[in-house]
Amino acid sequence: MSTQDKKQIEAYNLAEFCQLAQDHFNKGFTFDFADNAHYPTSFGSFFSAVMIKQAEAVKQIQEATEAVLEAATGALEEAAEVLVSTPAKGRPKKV
């Protein structure tokens, strides 16, 4: 990711931080909630966040979604194998 795709915003009061965030929203940036290092934070009256381009955010969400789907698909296939195991020979036991 290049520096043009992410911008750090910092301000010493909430109103200024919100104005900077709104300016970047209008330019196509969004907050990066996927990376702890970029997560919006405040230390006393100091506010900081790293914003990324919208397309990059969509790409990160798609990659995360694909990883979750792959894991879920693998788990479902394993469960299906267990459920479709060969039946035991002979008559079923009476209960």
**For the segment 23-43, what is each residue's pLDDT rounded down to a tens digit?**
999 988 998 888 888 899 999
Can you give the C-alpha Rg of the chain in angstroms? 24
pTM passes above 0.75: no
| Closest to 53 (Cα-Cα) out of 31, 79, 38, 82 | 31
Q: What is the pLDDT of residue 32?
A: 85
